[in-house]
Amino acid sequence: MQDRLRIAIVGYGAAGQAAALFLSAQGHALSVYEQAAAPGPVGAGFLLQPTGLGVLARLGLHDQVLAQGQRIERLHGVNRHGRRVMDMCYADHASACFGLGLTRGSLFTVLRDAYRDAPRIHTGVCIEALSEDGEHLRDSQGGVHGPFDLIVVADGAHSRLRQGVSQQVRRQAMYRWGALWCLLPAEQWPHRTELRQRYGGTREMIGLLPVGQRADRGGHWLTFYFSLPGEQVDAFDAAGLARLQERVAALWPEAVPLLDGITSPDQLHRARYRDVVLRSPVHGRMVFLGDAAHAMSPQLGQGVNMALLDAEALADALAATPQVDVALQDYRRRRRDHLAVYQWMSRWLTPLFQSDHDGLARLRDVAFHPLSRLPLARGQMLKILMGTKKAWWR
Ligand SMILES: Cc1cc2nc3c(=O)[nH]c(=O)nc-3n(C[C@H](O)[C@H](O)[C@H](O)COP(=O)(O)OP(=O)(O)OC[C@H]3O[C@@H](n4cnc5c(N)ncnc54)[C@H](O)[C@@H]3O)c2cc1C
């Protein structure tokens, strides 16, 4: 049994929220720091895979997220000529299997409400660095916090604390592509249980994912996303919105009425992604979780799953031994192979959907769907989708 540890959690996104729940249940003394003055969800909605649902079940939150979200049975994507590029059903893996479309707000609220000490989170505190003794944290106002036996770094893809451990960073490049995304009312949308995508070569991708209810309003909702080169995401303005609406009309006329309520570029969130690979997620008393450790492009829809699995694995490693350094090495081993497979795949698959390489779109459109019909390849693709692929050879 682990002694009661003094643990800092930096960042209250999915990774930090799940870590707070697992580690507080083990009786540790937590100090949670979040830079936002009023912590809340960022972005629209996402697809949670069966692996992530399994972690929420362990936290006792499975039924709550099921009640908020939308069961997704099928992923379906066609190119601008209507040719099928992707068509995968969860039930082909196992009849009870499904993904869950969920708004960011729903997940945030369910995880926050389950954390008894949520009112004691240190909000509006931007942690900038680890102090020289390796036990304290410094914030942007010069405040010092600690000492801590363990520091859980969950400050996201653009992690500040990661900049202080450059020797551990193998990659942290920005992708050239990003996306605009928002929630749209889903009442008129007929494909309630499907993630639908439309591809215009590799340069344009539109997605519509049913995500169930919003924490703050009734009705059913969809996450809409539109991928663009990063500089266009950064400079997105009224002219950019008019162009986006034109391109949706050209590529996917059925989706045009959904955008009726979008009149200002500020109604769309902007997302840029990084490809982060660390030599080790452990550095002294610090352990990096979630996007801070392994941000990837959202192409495989695994980031929230990974963050939840990280938090669960860290708690299990800490429960197995009273020695923090041994537990952290155990944590690294528990997550290493699974993460390596997804980091590699995400890096190599992303250009098939977001890049300037038109030839890749032709190859994808000809080969992807026929390949996915072959029994062996299909089984592997379904495992990848569900987040269960742990090594190449298994
Ligand atoms: C367009 C898009 C679509 C996606 N779709 C999916 C999907 O379908 N399925 C899926 O599983 N994943 C998806 N993802 C990925 C997923 O959103 C991320 O992997 C996940 O949110 C990572 O969680 P996190 O807690 O590690 O980081 P974050 O959610 O980024 O949380 C980090 C937190 O740390 C705080 N913070 C940052 N710096 C500091 C600091 N210095 N001090 C204190 N606090 C700080 C931030 O304010 C934030 O609250 C998508 C991502 C994008 C951009």
Distance between Cα 362 and ligand 1 center (Å): 32
Distance 14 CA to ligand 1 centre (A): 7
The CA-to-CA distance between both ends of the chain, in Å, stands at 33
Distance 52 CA to ligand 1 centre (A): 15
Does ligand 1 have an atom closer than 6 angstroms to the CB of 69?
no
Closest-lying ligand 1 atom to the alpha carbon of residue 209: 8
Ligand 1, residues 9, 35, 174: which to mutate, most atoms within 8 A of Cβ? 35
- What's the pLDDT score for residue 392? 57
- pLDDT score, position 95: 85
For residue 303 and ligand 1, the question of a CB distance below 6 A is answered with yes
Ligand 1 in reach of 201 Cβ (< 6 A): no
CA nearest neighbour of 221 among 102, 76, 109, 77: 102
Which atom from ligand 1 is nearest to the alpha carbon of 303?
19
Contact in structure between 222 and 183 (CB atoms under 8 Å): yes
Q: Measured between alpha carbons, how far is 169 from 172 in angstroms, rounded to an integer?
A: 7
346: Cβ below 6 Å to ligand 1?
Answer: no
Q: State the distance from the centre of ligand 1 to the C-alpha of 366, rounded, in angstroms.
A: 34
Token pair, residue 31, equals: 């100090």
User: Which atom of ligand 1 is least distant from the CA of 269?
Assistant: 1
Spacing, Cα 309 to ligand 1 middle (Å): 14
- Determine which residue's CA is closest to atom 51 belonging to ligand 1: 298
Give the mutation target among 291, 294, 297, 309 for probing the ligand 1 site: most ligand atoms within 8 A of CB.
Answer: 291
CB distance 121 to ligand 1 below 6 Å: no
Go through the domains of the chain in sequence order and give each one's CATH number: 6-174+272-386 (3.50.50.60)
Interatomic CA distance for residues 92 and 77, integer angstroms: 17
Closest ligand 1 atom to residue 272 Cα is: 53
pLDDT at position 393 is: 52
Phi, psi values for residue 33, rounded to 5° = -115, 130
Phi then psi for residue 79, to 5 deg, are -90, -175
- Pocket test of ligand 1: the residue of 31, 46, 128 to mutate, having most ligand atoms within 8 Å of its CB, is 46
Q: Tell me the three-class secondary structure of the chain, residue by residue.
A: CCCCCEEEEECCCHHHHHHHHHHHHCCCEEEEEECCCCCCCCCCEEEECHHHHHHHHHCCCHHHHHHHCEEECEEEEEECCCCEEEEEEHHHCCCCCCEEEEEHHHHHHHHHHHCCCHHHCEECCCEEEECCCCCCEEECCCCEECCCCEEEECCCCCCCHHHHHHHHEEEEEEEEEEEEEEEEECCCCCCCCEEEEEEECCCEEEEEEEEECCCCCCCCEEEEEEEEEHHHHHCCCHHHHHHHHHHHHHHCHHHHHHHHHCCCHHHCEEEEEEEEEECCCEECCEEECCHHHHCCCHHHCCHHHHHHHHHHHHHHHHHHCCCHHHHHHHHHHHHHHHHHHHHHHHHHHHHHHCCCCHHHHHHHHHHHHHHHHCHHHHHHHHHHHHCCCCCCCC
305 Cα–ligand 1 center, Å: 11
Q: For ligand 1, atom 23, which residue shows the shortest CA distance?
A: 14
The confidence score (pLDDT) of residue 347 equals 87
Pocket test for ligand 1, best of 9, 34, 65 (most atoms within 8 A of CB): 34
Nearest to 59 by CA among 301, 315, 375: 315
In the chain, which residues have pLDDT < 50?
A: 1, 394
Phi-psi region of 218 (alpha: psi -120 to 50; beta: other; left: phi over 0): beta
pLDDT for 2: 56
**Cα–Cα distance list, 341 to 169, 310, 346, 353 (Å):** 18, 15, 9, 19
- Residue 181 CB less than 6 A away from ligand 1: yes
* pTM for the whole structure: 0.95
Q: What is the pLDDT of residues 332-346, one digit of tens each?
A: 999 999 999 998 888
Q: Is 129 in the pocket of ligand 1 (CB under 6 A)?
A: no
